[in-house]
Amino acid sequence: MDRVALRGLKARGHHGVFPREREEGQTFIVDLVLHIDTRPAAADDDLAKTVHYGVVAEEVVDVVQGEPVDLIETLAERIAQQCLKHEAVAQVEVVVHKPDAPITVPFDDVTITITRTRV
């Protein structure tokens, strides 16, 4: 499989288990790797035979800005399922970054990485 990667998609969401996270929100950053077969699109130079990564980016931002969840695991799953709605996507790797997580010690980032495959 070939890979199309989107890195650093940023959106404000209201996800988390603490009331402050739900009320104030925070920035989430998403990285995606979409596993697709690009040969049909390349052979015909046809966008309809691949995945439109601009559309995927907008959909992912909509998920992050959408209905709040407690866990970034749940958010990552929702993002993966949205990506797999695109027929060309056979597998997706999703990394959700929560750089402003409510942790009391110095840290750079908190992430979850999941991989989901079309069934």
Q: List the catalytic residue out of 10, 49, 85, 98.
A: 98
pTM of the model: 0.96
Told to judge if 98 belongs to the known catalytic residues of this protein, a careful annotator would answer: yes
**What is the torsional sign of CA 100, 117, 119, 45?**
positive
Residues of the chain with pLDDT below 70 are none
Instruction: Give all domains of the chain, ordered by start, each with its CATH number.
Output: 2-117 (3.30.1130.10)
CA distance 53 to 56: 5
Residue 82 pLDDT: 98
CA distance 21 to 28: 12
Residue 119 pLDDT: 82
Residue 46 pLDDT: 97
The phi, psi pair for 59, rounded to 5°, reads -65, -40
